[in-house]
């Protein structure tokens, strides 16, 4: 049976179709989910894609957090449903308190778009098992509000529990504390990151590499062996 991975579209989502394509390339079936529908259509996992939901007019991800679909996502994520938040999706996850901390504007106050080197810090989550801890990868990055922040207690807890999933290497593009590019929840089923793995799944686009594809093969293997 083919694994079914839902991709939520909010008003202002930009990378929902790219994410669906990445899922398809990994061998799973992408399922389009609309933000106003609570029904997740019995998917096996959910991706909250990148973009500028509701124009980021209040705070990035703050309005999308209250979309009807998020009621179900929050409930099922707490019950173990794998959820990946990419860029704006990461912002939504922090606003929904499925991940700790929050996002502020980049410290240089400019939108940034570049190929970014990351180090995989945690390869034990539902979305990272096809990587190796310490592996360095290149993933496209594009954001205006990408600066991850948290209080010192939360940062220390994330570090002590190995919940920093990805860290920026060589260059911190937005001022994120501890060079954090992505984190996971305690159970490892919810992961958020700022860079865009869906743009690094084919050699002809994005970075010209396929460093982002293991996100989607990781969850596929997790679902197949579950």
Catalytic positions, please? Answer: 87, 196, 198
- The enclosing H or E element of 36 equals none
- CA angle 117/119/124 to nearest 5° reads 140
Give the containing element (helix H, strand E) for 95. Answer: helix 88-95
CA-nearest of 46, 86, 41, 99 to 223 is 46
Residue 71's Cβ-side half-sphere holds a number of Cα atoms within 13 Å equal to 7
The overall longest dimension of the chain from CA atoms, in Å, is: 47
């Amino acid at each position: 049976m083919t694994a079914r991975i839902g991709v939520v579209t909010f008003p202002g989502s930009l990378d929902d179709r790219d994410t669906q394509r990445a899922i398809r390339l990994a061998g799973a079936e992408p399922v389009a989910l609309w933000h106003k529908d609570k029904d997740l259509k019995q998917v096996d996992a959910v991706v909250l894609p990148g973009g500028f939901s509701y124009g980021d007019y209040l705070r990035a991800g703050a309005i999308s957090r209250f979309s009807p679909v998020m009621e179900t996502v929050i409930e099922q994520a707490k019950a173990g449903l794998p959820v990946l938040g990419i860029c704006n999706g990461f912002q939504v996850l922090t606003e929904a308190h499925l991940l700790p901390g929050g996002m502020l504007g980049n410290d240089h106050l400019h939108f940034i778009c570049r190929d970014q080197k990351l180090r995989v810090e945690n390869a034990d989550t539902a979305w990272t098992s096809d990587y190796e801890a310490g592996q360095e990868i290149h993933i496209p990055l594009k954001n205006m509000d990408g600066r991850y922040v948290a209080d010192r207690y939360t940062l220390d807890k994330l570090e002590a529990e190995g919940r920093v999933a990805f860290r920026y290497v060589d260059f911190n593009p937005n001022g994120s504390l501890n060079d954090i590019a992505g984190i996971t929840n305690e159970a490892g089923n919810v992961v958020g990151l700022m860079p865009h793995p869906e743009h690094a799944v084919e050699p002809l686009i994005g970075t010209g590499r396929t460093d982002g594809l293991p996100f989607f093969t990781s969850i596929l293997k997790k679902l197949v062996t579950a």
